[in-house]
Amino acid sequence: MTGNGWDDILEPGEELLWQGQPDPRPDWRAQTLRETLFGLAVTAFSLFWMAKALGIGADATFMGLVFPLMGLPFLVMGLNRAGGKIALGVWRRRHTWYSLTTRRAFIATDLLGRRTLDAYPIGPATPLDHEEGPPDHIWFATDFVKTAQGSKRRRIGFTHLPDSRAVYDQMRRLQREAL
């Protein structure tokens, strides 16, 4: 495996089996018409607010500059509700790569210059869950993330896969061979 970038990552005897990326197409399942319309209304209101505030504060005083900026949080919220979450998901998937070796599953991301490479062991005790969609997902780990109410469980895996059955079958074979 010389020169392929994996020399310092793979353990002795570990081999790369598969690499891929999630399908970057928009996933509209979580977006509702009601949420989109609400987001568009908030966006329109915030743009109206900022335009009017700019006209009122055209004297370039401190308040004339700050008052229009008070609409920015509402603009961001409105855009997010109108479909920003979907656009963010597309962007994240375009900057995510998956790899499967004879021992581990890797998820690599390059988001705003911050690169991460997370590895998850795949063994006989690894709980594998295959969700056939579309989109298809293979879940193989969990962790907990902090929330305002405490924490919640987050599933980790290869998401939005176009060839999930072949990858899932490879992972199950790895589990059987490790017994």
Mean pLDDT of 106-134: 94
**Full-model pTM:** 0.78
Question: Could you read off the pLDDT of 132-161 as tens digits, one per residue?
Answer: 988 899 999 999 988 889 899 999 999 999
Residue 59 pLDDT class (50, 70, 90 cuts)? low
Hey, what are 119's tokens? 């590895």
Sheet holding 129-131, edge to edge: 129-131, 136-147, 150-161
- Cα gap 177→135, rounded to integer Å: 28
Helix axes 72-79, 33-56, angle to 10 degrees: 160
